[in-house]
Amino acid sequence: MRQIKLGMVIAKPETRTISEIEKYITSEEVEMLMFPEGYLQSGNLEKVRELARKHKKWIVSGMDDDRVLSHGMETGIIIDPSGDIAGEHRKTSLTKWEVEHGCQRGNSIKVIETPLGKFGFAICYEIHFPEVSRILALQDAEIIFNPIGSGMWNEAQFNVWNAIARARASENSAFVVGCSHFDDCIPVAFAYAPGGECLASSREQNRMVPVVLDFGKYKTEKDFDQRRPELYSDLVGLKYLGNQSTKDQWRIARRKP
């Protein structure tokens, strides 16, 4: 029976160090570790790959990424137990603060296929855009990772964020898991099953929150037969191609003023 033993780390914010990875990667309780948005710096990537290879662990993390652009991007990265990069996602929807500080947007939403399953990222703020998770679900994503850049500012945000994560899991038949840094806000780690069941929810101090994602108990098969994409064009300003053989393909169409 297929399972993933995941450890979601409510991590202390670090700059140029990876002590949280070094602390938890030896845990025999988990096979995969998840860290918040921006936990890694791209300059530490090779060291993290070495640790993954040495300890035969999967590592999922957000990363401040300046490998290509000096202003950097927020990237989600998956490293496999061989130390190879299984896949990456660059954050597509930015906060106002990120835009004002010169962060760059990614332009692609694709699942990452691994021997453990099909994974996708909705980095921090992206979880608030249902289109991101739905596009991943249309590609059969089984887990949507939501690495979060900071803790929750208040109780209202804590409750709303968890409600959104639960909804994304239920509406897309996927596990949705997330964790934040341990800073001066309310820390958070959560895991929701494809039916919306809460598997783990924590607001505790700096720690690793373990959870088992059981694909036998919780099914990730999709049933989108009743979608009506021909009615959704106003949502994104695209024109639907009605050919049944390309049911979910679209083409850009210029809008009339």
What mean pLDDT is predicted for residues 158-180? 97
Both 42 and 151 in one domain: the answer is yes
Asked if residues 65 and 43 have their Cβ atoms less than 8 Å apart, the reply is no
Both 98 and 209 in one domain: the answer is yes
Tell me the pLDDT band of 235, cut-offs 50, 70 and 90: confident
> What residues make up the domain containing 198?
3-223
Both 148 and 29 in one domain: the answer is yes
Q: Percent of the chain beyond pLDDT 90?
A: 75
Predicted local confidence at residue 71, as pLDDT: 62
Predicted local confidence at residue 238, as pLDDT: 62
Tell me the pLDDT band of 70, cut-offs 50, 70 and 90: low
Both 233 and 203 in one domain: the answer is no
CATH code for position 199 = 3.60.110.10
Distance CA 2, CA 98 (A): 38
Both 235 and 214 in one domain: the answer is no
Both 133 and 255 in one domain: the answer is no
Number of domains the chain is built from: 2
Both 245 and 163 in one domain: the answer is no
DSSP-derived letter for residue 213 is: E
Q: Please provide the average confidence, as pLDDT, over all residues in the chain.
A: 90
Ramachandran area for residue 118 (φ above 0: left; ψ -120 to 50: alpha; else beta): beta
DSSP letter for each residue of 141-181: -SEEEEE-SS-BSSHHHHHHHHHHHHHHHHHHTSEEEEE-B
Both 256 and 165 in one domain: the answer is no
C-alpha torsion 117→48→145→200, nearest 10: 100
Distance CA 9, CA 58 (A): 13
Strand, coil or helix: 51? helix
Both 135 and 121 in one domain: the answer is yes
Give this prediction's pTM.
0.90
Both 80 and 51 in one domain: the answer is yes
DSSP-derived letter for residue 65 is: E
Both 237 and 149 in one domain: the answer is no
Both 252 and 148 in one domain: the answer is no
Taking alpha carbons only, the member of 33, 27, 4, 23 closest to residue 179 is 33
What are the pLDDT digits (tens) for 13-49? 887 789 999 999 999 999 999 999 999 999 999 999 9
Asked if residues 186 and 149 have their Cβ atoms less than 8 Å apart, the reply is no
Strand, coil or helix: 68? coil
Angle at 234 between CA 230 and CA 235, to 5 degrees: 95
What are the pLDDT digits (tens) for 104-145? 889 999 999 999 999 999 999 999 999 999 999 999 999 999
